[in-house]
Amino acid sequence: MITLLIDGKQVEVKEGTTILEAARQAEIYIPTLCDDPRLEPYGACRLCLVQVKGMPRLVTACTTPVAEGMEVQTSNEQIERIRKTIVELLLSDHPNDCMVCEKAGDCTLQELAYFYNLRENRFLGERRQYAQRDNNPFIERDMEKCVLCGKCVRVCEEVQAVAAIDIAYRGFNAKVTPPFEKDLNCEFCGQCISVCPTGALIGKLSIGRGRQKDIQKVDTICPYCGCGCNITLHVSRNEIIRVSSSPDNINEGWLCVKGRFGFKFVNSPDRLKKPLIKKNGKFEEVSWDEALDYVASKFREIKDRYGPDAIGGLSSARCTNEENYLFQKFIRATIGTNNVDHCARY
């Protein structure tokens, strides 16, 4: 273990921890846009600059490992001035259309602007403008809002091992893009959306479907496969508009395309909401009692005549975990057969 002082507070952390991580453990806040503890340190946004006693320059807390006896100052006049300049520079090259931005209310850049009370901007000038839109089905990419934190690029390469995007061009024109500025054509896991600190990457399914403040969050388990990822349903006006996952859960917040985007069926107009029985070659709506009685009698008939193994059950990942549990219980205990399966296996 290593002991260091952060803002006068004694902190003990494991060797190899960064200053930023140590500060978090000690509940000392250091602003950042480009850090994600799950990704390799990057040091690009420069907001986490801190003063370490004995070092000639300010250093980024996210890239600097702790050392025994280190004395860190996370804030002083110069540091705050630089941080404010950085946020102001970012805003000088940002559409500042928070009133219509999907990310409003959940945006790190917006929070920082609020924190530094940036109403005026000393650095207004040319702004990047990109007319071209990406026509992929899932991810709205508004690169005018991109702060080049590189999280999407890193998650795509480091976590997803896909590397569908990278930074192209130089300097002020640097831009995250798929190869040759083509439309994104990847596996659409949407991890990039989950790490984006601004409105640059937004799920297309949620656009225009509710402000952050009106959202009710429901924690559940992703039903699609046996991994059992923790997910959070974002519900607006009784409809799921988005799925997220918290970084501190079993799957570290990472999801796949199905878990993140495969929720449209819930509110699909094609979905059966009432039981149907085919009478005279046509489906007719019936009551639950009638339907269940009918099914029960048919099952009994089959079981009596051919034995329980003549029956098998298949259930769906689009049911909840609890429903799937009950289903296999029913097949095994009530019907009496092990002929039961599920698209994500039991």
- Residues of this chain that interact with other proteins (CB under 8 A) are 41, 43-46, 49, 57-60, 63-64, 78, 81-82, 85-86, 89-90, 92-93, 122-123, 125-126, 147-148, 150, 166-167, 169-174
CB of 46 to other proteins, least distance (A): 5
When the beta carbons of 25 and 92 are compared against other proteins, the nearer one is 92
The least CB distance from residue 29 to other proteins, in Å, is 19
For other proteins, the closer of residues 78 and 320 by Cβ is: 78
Within the chain, how many helices (H) and strands (E) appear? 8, 16
Query: Is 193:203 a contact under the CB 8 Å cutoff?
Result: yes
Burial letters for 94-125: b for 16+ Cβ neighbours within 10 Å, e otherwise? beeeeeebbbeebbbbbebbeebebeeeeeee
Q: Find, among 198, 195, 101, 179, the residue nearest to 134 by Cα.
A: 179
How does DSSP assign 128-188, residue by residue? ---------SSEEE-GGG-----HHHHIIIIISS----EEES-GGG-EEESGGGPPP-S--
From the CB of 199, what's the least distance to other proteins, in Å? Answer: 17
CB of 1 to other proteins, least distance (A): 21
Q: How far is the CB of 320 from other proteins (least distance, A)?
A: 44
Between 41 and 253, CB nearer to other proteins: 41
Nearer to other proteins, 54 or 125 (CB): 125
Alpha helices (runs of H) in the chain, residue ranges in sequence order:
19-25, 77-92, 108-115, 151-154, 191-195, 257-261, 288-306, 321-329
Cβ proximity to other proteins, 7 vs 166, nearer residue? 166
Residue 104 Cβ, how far from other proteins at the closest point, in Å? 21
| Residue number with CB closer to other proteins (45 or 205) | 45
